Amino acid sequence: MEKMEVKEAKGKLGILLVGVGGAVSSTFITGTLAVRKELSVPVGSLTQLATIRLGKRTENRFPKIKDVVPLADLNDLVFGGWDIFSEDLYDATIHAEVLKKEDVDGVKDELKAIRPMKAVFDQEYVKRLHGTHVKTGATRWDLTEQVREDIRNFKKEHNCDRIVVMWAASTEVYIPMSDEHRNLAAFENALKTNNTEVISPSMCYAYASIAEGCPFIMGAPNLCIDIPAMWELAKEKQVPICGKDYKTGQTMLKTVLAPMLKTRMLGLDGWFSTNILGNRDGEVLDDPGSFKTKEVSKLSVIDTILQTDVYPELYGNIYHKVRINYYPPRKDNKEGWDNIDIFGWMGYPMQLKVDFLCRDSILAAPLCLDLVLFSDLAQRCGFSGIQDWLSFYFKSPMHSENKVPEHDLFIQHTILKNTLRTIIGEETIDYLD
């Protein structure tokens, strides 16, 4: 197979995060800086630790992904972003209480040098947070233009060759897709006429990023780039986009357990999921509007994997409930309980009980690293629009309206690695050899 023409990953790669002072962003940046100084190991990152099989099994070729795929080097990453609070990244990381102070202190000087730019913020979209470091403008269009200027200024000031923008802030309230989202002209008109009911702050960042030719990654479940207007813009500007909602704790387990049930043709009566979480994300999700956005994302997984319409006798009457409870004492250490009522031969009932005591930002941080590196790779490969091959990283993988998303973690993993094989000119693997 012929190797793709991929632009060289030369120069600095700027990583701009929305919510740069939040728990996920600060953990991601601190960890990456620590790995760069050889103070830590990038556990959870495919780009840094995983191998990829090349050729037949008998060839015994299993190099690390980073040794054969032309990814940006960690030493070339430059971090920045926007936040609704003004504290520098060292203070923000300490405040988030995810990492131990001694781990943060190892890269204190680098973190102190990162100060957030003012954020686009609207209280109506995040009811529980009260931003103090925010932009002002007459319209959403004005605010979007300010973000575009921020991107250009950061690129120039830090001598970056390329920029990737990532949403790592809390989710916004649920809004349905409207006519203004259906095409680019209508969307731009809504920006200019300041239709705040249909244009969220996250959409301002997404539009600005794509318009500046920068890949955009959507890490939250709210409506943003999963609309035809954004796809039209991404196609016009030849920019890769991906999302949405990082696949971390409870949903990661669902994308493993549900395929197991379906593979064995075991039935499912009900799946009850509940979580306790105490960080800023948990506080935001305590608002019903924000929770609905997350709920829609989490609920979509099981139905899609199990193909309820194809197997009505097994999955035609599932009761699926998801709850998230704000519980401050836990801070970033989330606990997710799942009660799963299944049935087997002759309809006899069985149960699965799962209690996952996870650390939300610790699970999300390596996903952020992989996504920025793979999105930059996609840009250099000339890919544009929705990057299906990155579905592995998302709870609610973005897809075009006429396409069914793939939720099975292991199928997603195969698609991801086969895309990398194609990029480097190796044969894809179907596991029949």
What's the mean per-residue pLDDT of the chain?
93
Residues pairing with 217 in the sheet: 166, 242
Segment 302-313, tens digit of pLDDT: 888 898 999 999
Q: Does the pLDDT of residue 182 top 70, yes or no?
A: yes
Dihedral sign (CA 319, 325, 329, 332): positive
Give residue 89's pLDDT.
Answer: 98
Pick the more confident residue, 334 or 416.
416
333 pLDDT more than 90: no
Residue-level pLDDT at 406: 83
The residue to which tokens 């100084």 are assigned: 37
Residue ranges and CATH numbers for the domains of the chain are 12-246+362-423 (3.40.50.720), 250-357 (3.30.360.10)
Confidence of residue 16 (pLDDT cuts 50, 70, 90): very high
pLDDT digits (tens, 9 = 90+) for 59-85: 999 999 999 999 999 999 999 999 999
- pTM of the shown model: 0.93
Mean pLDDT of 322-343: 90
Side chain identity at 245, as an amino acid letter? Answer: D
Ramachandran quadrant class, 334 (left: phi over 0; alpha: psi -120 to 50; beta: rest): beta
- On the question of pLDDT at 144 being above 90, the answer is yes
CB 18 within 8 A of CB 168: yes
Provide the total of helices (H) and of strands (E) in the chain, helices listed first: 16, 11
pLDDT tens string 240-292: 999 999 998 888 898 889 999 999 999 999 999 998 888 766 666 666 766 66
Strands (E), 245-394: 267-277, 319-326, 335-343, 349-357, 385-386
For residues 328-335, give the mean pLDDT. 85
CA R_g for the chain: 21
pLDDT at position 26, please?
97
pLDDT surpasses 70 at 294: no
pLDDT in tens, 200-239: 999 999 999 999 999 999 999 999 999 999 999 999 999 9
